[in-house]
Amino acid sequence: MSLPQPRDPAGPYRVSVVCLGNICRSPMAEKVLTADLERAGLSDLVEVDSSGTGDWHVGGGMDPRAASTLRVHGYLTNHTARQFEPEDLATRDLVLAMDVDNLADLRRVVDERGAELGFDASRLRLFRSFAPASGPNPEVPDPYYGGDDGFTAVLNMVEAAAKGLTGELVTRLKA
């Protein structure tokens, strides 16, 4: 899978990860991807953020179960939830949805405002599409209403996708 060209070749490549409330999946993906990029020597070349399509948790922290899962595996957990805003399209090189429902919400935003903001649909993908073997379901399921094991499963999916995306970013930006 080929990544879209950077919008600003002189600036960092900007990636945004989006889920529903920005307290579980997308902040987990943000922290894992940021750590992978740092290990790959790309922390100066790529910026990662996360947001949610909904506004229920804006200003709050990460779900305690998500934070605990990350902490146990050595990842950072500092986070303040925010909502995805259409204007985010103007500055992002790649927007990654965690599931097809959020992808559909983002596509509506791109259809309504993308042309005006210089953002086309090729910059919008499912996060897990970067996992080498995501199987028939390319979604990262929402663990919010389940137990701790759901957060561990999400972390495993996020780690696989982050490694795949980091590999592609290395190819794109260090070539």
CA neighbor of 36 nearest in space, from 171, 138, 169: 169
CB 102 within 8 A of CB 131: no
Provide the sign of the torsion angle of the four alpha carbons 82, 161, 44, 6, taken in this order: negative
Q: Which of 19, 92, 93, 128 is catalytic?
A: 19
- Burial of 29: CB neighbours in 10 Å, binned 0-12, 13-18, 19+: buried
Q: 25 catalytic, yes or no? A: yes
Tell me the CA distances in angstroms from 6 to 46, 49, 73, 123, 161, one per residue in order: 10, 16, 31, 10, 20
Q: 19 catalytic, yes or no? A: yes
- Burial of 77: CB neighbours in 10 Å, binned 0-12, 13-18, 19+: middle
Q: Which of 63, 88, 93, 142 is catalytic?
A: 142
Q: Which of 14, 25, 82, 92 is catalytic?
A: 25
Any idea what DSSP says for residue 34? H
Residues labelled catalytic? 19, 25, 142
